[in-house]
Amino acid sequence: MVFVTDAAGLVTHLGRHWTSLTGQPVAEARHFGWTHVVHPDDREAVRNLVLDAIRTQSGFTVRFRVRSAEGADRWVISGAVPSFGPPGETFLGFLGSLMPLSEAPSDIAEAAGWLRPPEPPSQQGSPLERAADLLLAAHSLIAQSGRRRTLEAVEIALRRLGEELAEETLMEVSSRTELQ
């Protein structure tokens, strides 16, 4: 599922699958409400990583546990890329994705993650990450205009782009695990 944050890291859009995964209504998950379903032992590590990503405007990947709709702990992986847009390549926020893992990771017992070193916005990331910048800028502008149908179309594009970025994140995690 895809999520979008503003420059302060507050979740402004979260895919509807969040509720089926966690049982938490999307409206309650907005801003930092999503942290309420993060496992208590993982909450501080996830929070610190996300705050570091916001402060440094860096992409990140993190694996952690959430309380599922059934009340059990469920491992997920989440990653996000920073988005920059006009004017002057201003930091807009993050486009991210979160996916449940089919089984618990064997290499960690608590939340673990890393930041991607920040790059100058003009040299930032893959073509997909640069497309995310443009879509997030469009999302922000269209949300301000109140054009709901157009906003829904942009959110569909963000979801598809987020799925592609999630695949890149999983490949990155796999290669990191193989190197260790």
Res 161: pLDDT: 80
Cα–Cα distance for residue pair 81/62, rounded to 1 Å: 12
Cα–Cα distance for residue pair 17/37, rounded to 1 Å: 14
Res 90: pLDDT: 84
Q: What is the CATH number of the domain that holds 130?
A: 3.30.450.20
Cα–Cα distance for residue pair 81/61, rounded to 1 Å: 9
Res 95: pLDDT: 86
Q: Which residue has the higher pLDDT, 158 or 25?
A: 25
Pick from 10-14, 60-64, 134-138: least confident? 134-138
pTM of the model: 0.70
Mean pLDDT value across the chain: 82
Cα–Cα distance for residue pair 81/93, rounded to 1 Å: 8
- Residue 28: pLDDT band with limits 50, 70, 90: very high
Q: Crossing angle of helices 148-179/127-145, nearest 10°?
A: 150
81-109 b/e (C-beta count within 10 Å ≥ 16 → b): bbbbbeeeeeebbbbbbbbeeeeeeeeee
Res 120: pLDDT: 57
Percentage of the chain beyond pLDDT 90 is 31
> How many domains in the chain?
1
Residues pairing with 99 in the sheet: 77
Residues spanned by the domain of 126? 2-179
